[in-house]
Amino acid sequence: MFSFFRNKANLVYLHDIFVTAICFNLSIFLRLGSEYNSIPNSLLIYGTILITIIGATVYRLTGLYKGIWRYASINDLINVVKASSITIAVFLIMMFAITRLESFPRSVLFINWFVLVMSLSGSRAIYRLYKDKKFFLKNISDNENSIPVLLIGATDRAELFIREMGRNNNPIHKIVGIVDINKNRVGRFIRGIEILGSIAEISKIVEKLEKENKKNRPQKIIIASNDIEGNIIRNLLTFADKTGISLARLPKITDLESDINNEKLKVKPVDVFDLLSRPQALLDRNSMKKFIYNKKVLVSGAGGTIGSELVNQIINYQPKEIILLDNSEFLLYKIEKGIEDKVKNIKINVLLADIKNTKRIDSIFNQNKPEIIFHAAALKHVPIVEKNPLEGILTNVHGTVNIAQSCIKHNVAEMVLISTDKAVNPFSVMGVTKRISEKYCQSLANSSKTNFKIVRFGNVLGSTGSVVPLFQEQLQKGGPLTVTHPKMKRYFMTVREAVELVIQSATLESKNKKGAIYVLEMGQPIAITEIAEQLIRLVGLRPNKDIKIKFTGLRPGEKIQEELHYKNEKFKKTKNKSIFIVKPKIENNKKLSQLLKELIVLAKSGELDLCYKKMSEIVPEYKKTKVENLQKERIA
């Protein structure tokens, strides 16, 4: 019995039953006043018992106790109205059937409905106001122990954060104002907190707040919007660094940690992904699912940065089978372990193979019959490939030829080649081998059933061997952060966004443009020096004072700035604004195939100088001697 009363839902149930009985009698009194006693006692008693029993039954059946009073909302009000309406309707039918409502004013039922709704919903609202500390006439900004905070973005998360601070007797933060992305809502309020201006006016806003009350000068700026571009966040970080204000962000919904007891919306530090982020690209996920659903999908280089993210996203679209191909045993083990708990009714096929092995690749295609290929396997580190050019040629060129030929031989429907901005006006072995791969896949497009597509994009943020993990490692060691050239710029994109757009590109139809190159919209290139400076500021240190930035000179094969397309390539929009298409200039496959065969033979024979000449013949804009001379001039 005691366990019944320990359950709060049961106490609420008893409360509602009691309120239902009271409301019935109160409604009669409101209708009749001093003539209340004119109603026969037997009718009052019978009516009270009947409506109470009906109410008790209806409340349970309508799920009125699935809601928590602490979080009473519009949905709870709707449930109360529904339950009250059913209760009154059933009571009316039963009373009419039994008494024909003789000696009973029918208007009482309408009054009873209104009083019952007000009583049941009002008690819930009062309880929530009590828990939200709304009975105390104080403002959350009056707590002297709280840190003055300026919120960036008039968003739902900002409202949630303000509400959370209002519930707390001793809030960590006091919100002194909101700065929105634009001026449209300036002067309006969110839960009593004014929107003071736009981001462009933040310096004046801080000065104004300090002038009005020194205690209200913000000590922290908290970003409460997902839609702020990376360049704005970088500017905010520079402003915060100059003024001594710390910068943080509210977590995204996907980042929220479950904490039922504390119910806190935790503030997190700004990280490098925020600095380089851009607005979320709109995706046609239905077409992405249609493209992959119930198909056999093979991902080469499945253990790499791009390959593993491809695998993780592909399984969300329920392929019939996912084939993981890589030449690293450890990386295959890692990706298999990472997805085996996520997949249901999807066959995982793990294959250890080197794409340079023609017979092995052909055997894999023959046995497994894949329908879609995402070819991500490649050597991508520019300086390492520059030092090992023969291996770069064999992996990036011969490996791609093996995959493409197997696609044709075994009637694979789709092959997507992952390319790079370094393939445009290539300056390195890595770049020229990827450009050769692009040309080869394009040359096959019109003569085969396989639909060849190439997706070209820039640097992937945080990938193995990229600059950001290197900087973070150097920061942990106390610096210096090494940058090869003060003017070096790169295009950056998160691996998640890049892979989403790769899959989206694969779904796009391009009539009469087989072998098309899809180029991802990468935004503006970012100076590597700027990234180094911002990373130093993120950990609360000063660039070139607390942590040095050292320029080491361009490495072999590096360009100061990459390009996403050739100037003579016709650049067109697709239906997705984040993806562009380059009109293909398809070369003769027979002639190109012969040149590639010769290149592969030379690479296998170790004829390096002849390999350089052959690559220059295939890609005229790449000249080894020209590259070397430019390299010497720039480093000097």
pLDDT digits (tens, 9 = 90+) for 305-332: 899 999 999 999 999 999 999 999 999 9
466 in a domain, yes or no? no
Predicted pLDDT at 137: 42
pLDDT at 635 over 60: no
Tell me which of 346 and 265 has the higher pLDDT: 346
Same domain, 301 and 254: no
Predicted pLDDT at 600: 95
Non-local (6+) Cβ contacts of 268 within 8 A are: 248, 249, 250, 251, 255
pLDDT at 149 over 90: no
At 237 the three-state DSSP class reads helix
pLDDT confidence band for 36 (50 / 70 / 90): confident
Name the DSSP letter for residue 567. T
Tell me which of 442 and 459 has the higher pLDDT: 442
pLDDT at 1 over 50: no
Same domain, 107 and 151: no
486 in a domain, yes or no? no
Tell me which of 396 and 129 has the higher pLDDT: 396
Q: What is the average pLDDT across 431-454?
A: 91
Same domain, 231 and 374: no
Residues 196 and 177: their CA atoms lie apart, in Å, by 6
> Per residue in 386-440, pLDDT tens?
999 999 999 999 999 999 999 999 999 999 999 998 888 898 999 999 999 999 9
Same domain, 261 and 347: no
At 599 the three-state DSSP class reads helix
Predicted pLDDT at 636: 40
Exposure string (b/e) for 235-260, b if CB count within 10 Å is 16 or more? ebbebbbeeebbbbbbeeeeeeeeee
Which helix (H) or strand (E) covers residue 284, if one does? none
Rounded to the nearest angstrom, the gap between the alpha carbon of residue 446 and the centroid of all alpha carbons in its chain is 37
pLDDT at 78 over 50: yes
Residues 570 and 627: their CA atoms lie apart, in Å, by 26
Predicted pLDDT at 441: 93
3-state secondary structure 137-195: CCCHHHCCCCEEEEEECCCHHHHHHHHHHHHCCCCCEEEEEEEECCCCCCCCEECCEEE
pLDDT at 223 over 50: yes
Rounded to the nearest angstrom, the gap between the alpha carbon of residue 146 and the centroid of all alpha carbons in its chain is 31
Q: Are 382 and 431 in contact (CB under 8 A)?
A: yes
0.95 exceeded by pTM: no
Predicted pLDDT at 265: 54
Same domain, 363 and 228: no
The residue segments making up the domain with residue 116 are 2-131
Amino acid, single-letter form, for residue 90 = V
310 in a domain, yes or no? yes
Beta bridge partners of 543: 547
pLDDT > 90: percent of the chain: 26
pLDDT confidence band for 354 (50 / 70 / 90): very high
Q: Can you give the CATH number for the domain in which 209 is found?
A: 3.40.50.720
Predicted pLDDT at 235: 80
pLDDT > 70: percent of the chain: 81
Look at residues 201, 235, 270 and tell me which one is the last residue of a structural domain.
270
Of 21, 8, 9, 100, which is closest to residue 53 (Cα–Cα)?
Answer: 21
Residue listed under structure tokens 């011969």:
398
Predicted pLDDT at 155: 77
Predicted pLDDT at 429: 94
Q: What is the average pLDDT across 286-291?
A: 91
Q: How many domains does the chain have?
A: 3
591 in a domain, yes or no? yes
Residues 338 and 200: their CA atoms lie apart, in Å, by 43
Same domain, 438 and 317: yes
> Per residue in 535-586, pLDDT tens?
787 766 778 878 888 887 777 767 767 767 777 677 788 888 888 888 767 8
Same domain, 353 and 439: yes
- Determine which of 96-105, 227-236, 314-323, 332-341 has the lowest per-residue pLDDT on average: 96-105
Same domain, 73 and 177: no
> Per residue in 610-628, pLDDT tens?
999 999 999 998 876 555 5
Rounded to the nearest angstrom, the gap between the alpha carbon of residue 104 and the centroid of all alpha carbons in its chain is 62
397 in a domain, yes or no? yes
Look at residues 131, 148, 167 and tell me which one is the last residue of a structural domain.
131
Look at residues 246, 270, 294 and tell me which one is the last residue of a structural domain.
270
Predicted pLDDT at 435: 94
Q: What is the average pLDDT across 235-242?
A: 78
